[in-house]
Structure 1
């Protein structure tokens, strides 16, 4: 695997903490960055864009360098986030994937809610039903 820059430890720790309590969620190294899965479905992917690479993430996010988190959304939330301005972005590679540029102004409570919703959109119903969802 190529040597890519890691996301800042603070961002990794914050996402890791929010995913740790989700039933049967697994953290693993991705082709670039870190991803969280439930079963065979990725519900969160955290990576660093560096020097415009990976190009697909740089193009979608508008970043040359920086940290991004992608996750799944459904229904009205997907529609709203797909057209929301920065720090959100809509990648082209999957209909229900949305991205978020992470920085010093990131609302980590909102990230936690988005990760829970992404997990529930990706998990089997029996696992999703075990999760306390945002109101």
Structure 2
């Protein structure tokens, strides 16, 4: 089952989010991550979907964290699939696909015709899922970041 997270799910989201951050070689910091996620939920700045195993609806096994922005060229909303994570013990069971399908339904509900994501170049397993789900890797545009100090 996939459902939208609420503030009541904060501990479950934080537990998974902390694992996600560690996967990307960042330090675990449960309280800091909890504060960040609480702000996103409370301020309606993000939409989070949680995945549950149908046999145990008490423990979340995956999540997506989505942000909505706009495209000047598309003259439309864009859904940024910023984070997707499935518990390592349950991967390859279709949960990632279900989370992406829920993201697609969310984008359609908003009237958006584009979902955008970034992933690590070495995250081959996730890239396989994204290609399978119809995402097309951009070979034209570069992505740039600027760290502001």
TM-score (ref. length: structure 2) = 0.29
Structure of greater Rg: 2
Structure with more contact order per residue of length (Cα contacts < 8 Å, sep ≥ 6): 1
